[in-house]
Homo-oligomer: A and B are copies of this chain.
Amino acid sequence: MGKQTTITGLEVKDIRFPTSLQHDGSDAMHTNPDYSCAYVIIRTDSYFNGHGLTFTCGNGTEVVVAGINALSTMVVGKQAYDIFNDFGTFWRKLTSDSQLRWIGPEKGVMHLATAAVINALWDLWGRLEDKPVWKLLSDMTPEQLVSTIDFRYITDVVTKDEAIEMLKKDQPLREQREKDLLANGYPAYTTQVGWLGYSDAKIKTLCQKYLDQGFTAFKVKVGQNLENDKQRCKMVRESIGWNNTLMVDANQVWDVQEAIDWMVQLKEFKPLWIEEPTSPDDVIGHAAIARALEPHGIKVATGEMCANRIMFKQFLQHKALHYCQIDSARIGGVNEILSVYLMAKKLNVKVCPHAGGVGLCEMVQHLQFWDFVCLNGDKNGKWIEYVDQQHEHFKVPTNVKNAAYIPPTAPGYNTEMFEQTLIDHEYPTGKMRKNIEP
């Protein structure tokens, strides 16, 4: 499929928002983030361009920009549909360059750079096909879908043929599920009530605000101080009541035993899950925590910093998580995330995507919508995270109504920011710079 479209250029920008001024986004590990992104524009000889990004926290965005520049020669000059028609092969090339591979492989800066480029390509593909990415994905045959995925290193859990079978099984149900999705959306939970730097009064006001909007699930950051955590969990529980859902998130501050001991102290607040209790690399540690907290009714969630599909594979194989929190901007973009959904389905683990500021919500909704339509068909006890930040900078922001994400109809991946935002927030030239530098 596809018309002749040549990729003529790849531009990358360092975009930063001075969020540390209000402690928006502060947690036990990231006390002072300036929500940012490395922003990619893929230009073509057609009317359409692709916009993509990877999320960052301020300093270091310039390193990811350097990583994207290193990848750009593998993209510029290519025919867009040569990429899309054999996307899995292209994805492997992008992540396996004989020289660049050494400085990953498939992790950290280079994989964030890969995600930004890949996300821009999906945005371009959606625009060329005049479909939002979730619909582009949902309209693919099982064979087309798996052709976008690199199965290297995961065939011990799921092969290409098994993936096709899984997708075929639910193919007849797609139409009905799509109707449900368009009518009712997909449930969201909010993290906006629980950042560590917020005052008690602000937290109470925010709880009421999101209750009024229909939210029933709320996440609170923990891990800096046990007494403070107890007080804040108590306050949030009093605000939201005991019939709503509370999650807590430690952002990796604990060692394994410390995580277990701390969480036992918080069990009276009945958290559904503890998120990122320890290092995001520690599969065996998470499994130990999951086993120890099971008698206390607390589940384990992780994924926003999980490096790649090989790490996700092990978390799933080793029963090291109950909630798989894929992130749209960390592992190598849409293609690799699809493989995580397939493994999670095979091993019967719920996917509840991580989201946050600077476009993370805008992107990740597409993936969960596809999962609902083509793979899982079940929203029960699942949510997409919702963080109410930077939406105003996107041309097509998320549309969350009654605590549900409503599927977008605009073509692409909802990743395009306004031109004025890109000018004002470009670092270090934009006028917002003065709010970031000391």
Contacts and interface: CB of A to CB of B under 8 A. Distances in A.
Contact of A98 (B30, B284, B308): B30
Contact of A279 (B64, B153, B288): B153
A155 interface: yes
Nearest to A153: B279
A284 B281 contact: no
Given A62-B66, A153-B285, A310-B281, A103 B56 contact: yes
A99 B58 contact: yes
Interface stretch (A106-114, A396-404, A418-426): A106-114
Nearest to A305: B105
Interface in A304-330: 305, 307-308, 310-311, 313-314, 317-318
A231 interface: no
A66 B284 CA distance: 33
A182 to B, nearest CB: 35
A314 B317 CA distance: 14
A57 interface: yes
A166 interface: no
A257 interface: yes
A97 interface: yes
Interface SS, A side: loop
Given A63-B70, A255-B153, A99 B34 contact: yes
Given A63-B109, A103-B60, A107-B307, A98 B285 contact: no
Contacts of A32: 98-99
Contact of A70 (B59, B99, B255): B59
B152 A102 contact: no
A235 interface: no
Given A100-B60, A314-B282, A111 B110 contact: no
Interface string A37-72: 000000000000000000111111011101100100
A282 B310 contact: yes
A257 B156 CA distance: 7
Given A103-B108, A107-B307, A67 B58 contact: no
Interface in A395-416: none
A102 B64 CA distance: 11
A164 interface: no
A214 to B, nearest CB: 31
A99 B26 CA distance: 11
A104 interface: yes
Contacts of A281: 106-107, 307-308, 310-311, 314
Interface string A268-294: 000000000011111111001000000
A30 B108 contact: no
A429 interface: no
The 7 closest A-B pairs by CB, nearest first: A108-B108, A109-B109, A58-B99, A59-B99, A57-B102, A66-B66, A156-B256
20 contacts: A29-B101, A30-B99, A31-B98, A32-B99, A55-B102, A56-B99, A56-B103, A57-B101, A60-B70, A60-B99, A63-B109, A63-B110, A105-B280, A107-B281, A108-B109, A108-B110, A109-B110, A153-B278, A283-B284, A284-B318
